[in-house]
Amino acid sequence: MSIQEQVKSALSGNAFDEASLEKFIESGLPTKKNELWKYTNIEKYWPEFDLASQAPTELSSVDKDPNFSHIFFVNGQFQANESDIAVEVLNESNRDRFLGAKSQLKELLADEPVFNLVESQAKNQYLLELNGVADKPVIIHNVYSSKVAKHSSAHLNVIANANSETTIIESHTSDDDAQSFINNATSFYLKGNAQATLIKMQTLGAQTVQVQNIRALVSRDANFESFTIDIGAKLSRNNISIRLDGEGANCCAHGLYTLQNDQQSDTNSFIHHNRPHTESSQLYKGIMNDKSHGIFTGLIRVEKDAQLINSDQLNKNLLLSKGAHAHSRPQLEIYADDVKCAHGSTTGQMSDDQVFYFEARGVSREKAQKLLAQAFAYDVILKIKNKTARIYAQNILEQNFIALKSE
Amino acid sequence: MSILKVENLKASVEGNEILKGINLEVKPGEIHAIMGPNGSGKSTLSKVIAGHPDYEVTDGSIELNINGKMQDIAELEAYERARDGVFLGFQYPIEVPGVTNIGFMRESFNALCEHQGADLMDEEEFRTFVKTKLPTLSMSEEFLDRAVNEGFSGGEKKKNEILQMLIMNPRLALLDETDSGLDIDALKIVANGVNSMKSKFNSFILVTHYQRLLDYIQPDFVHVLYKGKIIKSGGKELALELEKRGYDWLIEESK
Ligand SMILES: Nc1ncnc2c1ncn2[C@@H]1O[C@H](COP(=O)(O)OP(=O)(O)OP(=O)(O)O)[C@@H](O)[C@H]1O
Ligand SMILES: [Mg+2]
């Protein structure tokens, strides 16, 4: 059966959103002909579509750091018993609270086939409401356990109510031999003056494929910050779409990918300045070793009536071996005239002079390279404002930091 | 016994021979000055002794006193030589954004401690230790928390090299033009740093263009390097003569 036929026979008649299913059946998975998927062949990794296989297994160990509130998902399914915060199942009765309120959110990633696939599946659609100023950051533990190639999909819809302030870490982990094909989405609707930070901390096993769809509709004076930190997985893909939809709405979308062997990480971000007086800032850094491949495509669009815009975007790549490569595609579509946009990208090797400076001070070459790569990456982590979350991200990075080989 | 013994050293970079047979012996407690026109190979000599990977030793030997035994170090990596007591003060100190100065120095200090089987220092202990060295160099603590050499003035970079030297307390310090670009006050401070470390157990090789450094640091020997060879060696009076007469007479003489 073709992929479309597999999906159709599994979901037809009980789709979460019939229109999305129809779109997916029409388009199928994106191919290289789709400009936004030019460097990533997702079809290659697709296992037979079989929803029954998405059953969660027991959580093996639950380690709850008291500095955080915890939420657990296993293979996309919410685990109420272990979680500190209640996540609702999104259904007919509460659906309008989120989606109905702002139909505009429906426009974000509407033409992205993998997101349409997430929206097609009735299973694992959740709703989380944020109120007030959170006293500690939330960790959403996403654990994947499938030993054979299986699909896992979940969509978390988050309403950040007016004046709320929350930092959410989405951790994604799987065993080394787990072969899940993960296609998730996290959607935010930030109401007036809400502050929300999402940090995706991905340290999946080397056999896992992950697509993460991040959408945010940012209202007046609200601020959304997203960090996608990809360390593990065979292939990771981020689709990020943020719309600044009220005056004074700001966003940051930062990312870090540290890759080795034949890992690939592909980020496609779209920042849409839809109103005047909005600001966005992006820093994406990639460290590629061995034969790995990092891709960044970032579109910034400023609408005609959106004057007084500030926007910056920077992609910096560090190649640690001759076989590694990076692609960087900054794109601007500006229809207004009072706009400050700075964007750029650089790709380079580690400076031999810097390495020698360390060596001349007694530090081994290997250690020097590791410290320099860490310093390069650390820039992104420093942008995490919440201190607890920043230290957490820093520790994960240090623990997982690629064992650099010199060439 | 000597600290360093260089014999008939020839070295090249990218196929070009730069050092063409250098002989140099340095004993404990000695200060040697190396002078010579631009491009004569002074920096190359210091880098080759320190183990820069771009330079290939094609002939001769470099022996270092390691634990009382003269050992050929030509095959050792730069970091191994550093751990065995060789310090290179850079003519152009390198900027390392994203790494704090104190973090950088602690890495190198602990690398030495580990090599010597001594206890490593934690952040707090190390800061306390480094702070004791700051007054000698008239440096403020603020320099410790800035990125290595980033945004430092020329003079501040050179002082920072000397600070690193004092912390690593090497047996052989090769200082490549540490005096260049310094005003007289900074020069005195740098010389003060060197003199505070000088003892009968360690030695210095100072690469310099200017006799004025030697007013503050008394050299035992002065060597003139020209086209990859030492064409003249003498005492400190040689530096004074060079100051007056330049290099041409020596170059003539050596032909
Ligand atoms: N990496 C290199 N590739 C090619 N030639 C080099 C390289 N490094 C040094 N050289 C050459 O070797 C010669 C000696 O250079 P070196 O830097 O050792 O001179 P120096 O005596 O320190 O000069 P200065 O007084 O200007 O510092 C010069 O002719 C220089 O151009
Ligand atoms: Mg030089």
Band of residue A358 on the pLDDT scale cut at 50, 70, 90: very high
Number of domains in chain B: 1
Residue A370 lies in a domain: no
Band of residue A100 on the pLDDT scale cut at 50, 70, 90: low
Residue A279 lies in a domain: yes
Band of residue B109 on the pLDDT scale cut at 50, 70, 90: very high
pLDDT of residue A55: 59
What is the CB neighbour count within 10 angstroms for residue A227?
24
Judged by CB atoms closer than 8 Å, whether chains meet at A357 and B96 is answered as: yes
Residue B162 lies in a domain: no
| Lowest-confidence segment of A140-154, A240-254, A256-270, B15-29 by average pLDDT | A140-154
Ligand 1 atom, smallest distance to B18 CA: 12
The enclosing domain of B248 has a CATH number of 3.40.50.300
**Quick check: A51 and A21 in contact, CB under 8 A?**
no
Residue A355 lies in a domain: no
Q: Quote the minimal CA–CA distance from B249 to chain A in Å.
A: 36
pLDDT digits (tens, 9 = 90+) for B50-93: 999 999 999 999 999 999 999 999 999 999 999 999 999 999 99
Sequence-separated (6 or more) residues with CB below 8 Å from residue B38: none
pLDDT of residue A14: 86
Residue A255 lies in a domain: yes
pLDDT digits (tens, 9 = 90+) for B19-51: 999 999 999 999 999 999 999 999 999 999 999
Number of domains in chain A: 1
CA–CA dist B24, B44 (Å, integer): 14
φ/ψ of residue A191, rounded to 5: -85, 180
pLDDT digits (tens, 9 = 90+) for A150-184: 899 999 999 999 999 999 999 999 988 888 899 99
Residue B194 lies in a domain: yes
Chain length of chain A: 407
Cross-sheet strand order for the sheet of B69-72? B16-26, B4-13, B55-66, B69-72
The response to whether residue B47 sits with its C-beta less than 6 Å from ligand 1 reads no
Residue A361 lies in a domain: no
CA-based nearest residue to A239, from A299, A176, A323: A299
> Taking CB atoms and an 8 Å cut-off, how many pairs form between chains A and B?
73
Residue A115 lies in a domain: yes
The domain in which residue B58 lies consists of 4-98+171-254
- ipTM greater than 0.85, yes or no? yes
- Nearest beta carbon to residue B168 from set A353, A357, A361: A361
The yes-or-no verdict on residue B104 having pLDDT over 60 is yes
Radius of gyration of chain B, Cα coordinates, nearest whole angstrom? 18
What is the A382 CA–ligand 1 centroid distance (Å)?
A: 40
Residue of A nearest to B90 (CA): A357
The domain in which residue A193 lies consists of 3-349
pLDDT of residue A405: 47
Residue A64 lies in a domain: yes
Judged by CB atoms closer than 8 Å, whether chains meet at A361 and B50 is answered as: no
Residue A405 lies in a domain: no
Residue B238 lies in a domain: yes
User: Residue B141: is it exposed, middle or buried by C-beta count within 10 angstroms (0-12/13-18/19+)?
Assistant: exposed
Which ligand gives the minimal distance to the CA of B228? 1
Residue B142 lies in a domain: no
- Nearest beta carbon to residue B108 from set A363, A375, A376: A363
What pTM did the predictor assign? 0.87
Residue of B nearest to A353 (CA): B94
Beta strands in B109-155 (DSSP E): 147-148
In the chain, the amino acid numbered B105 is: M
pLDDT of residue A407: 40
Which H/E stretch holds residue A352? helix A352-360
What is the B94 CA–ligand 2 centroid distance (Å)?
A: 15
